[in-house]
């Protein structure tokens, strides 16, 4: 399965989950859910941009990339 297929599959699963869990949402709730869904999908795409082969390596790469963006203090210090 390619990155695009995984991303598309993940997006459809998340959309189905959101649609299935919210009954009769008002307009404001729909807008908020759509915004959150878009942000979540962007995070998933960013995560898959590392082209994961190993879960441990993937987490390490994601941590270091995030650390470059923001100053993250290591835990336990």
More confident site: 48 or 2: 48
Q: Is residue 61 part of a domain?
A: no
Model confidence at 10: pLDDT above 70: no
- Asked, for residue 59, whether it belongs to a domain, the answer is no
Q: Is residue 58 part of a domain?
A: no
User: Above pLDDT 90, what percent of the chain?
Assistant: 0
Query: How many percent of the chain have pLDDT more than 70?
Result: 47
- Domain span including residue 12: 3-52
**DSSP assignment string, 1-67:** --HHHHHHHHHHHHHHHHHHH-SS--HHHHHHHHHHHHHHHHHHHHHHTT--S-HHHHHHHHHHHHH
**pLDDT tens-digit readout, 43-72:** 777 777 767 666 677 677 777 777 777 665
Number of domains making up the chain: 1
């Amino acid at each position: 399965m390619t990155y695009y297929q995984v991303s598309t599959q993940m997006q459809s699963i998340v959309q189905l989950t959101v649609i299935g869990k919210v009954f009769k949402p008002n307009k404001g709730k729909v807008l908020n859910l759509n915004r959150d869904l878009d942000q979540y999908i962007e995070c998933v795409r960013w995560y898959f941009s590392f082209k994961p082969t190993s879960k441990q390596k993937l987490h390490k790469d994601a941590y270091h990339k995030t650390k470059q963006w923001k100053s993250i203090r290591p835990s336990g210090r």
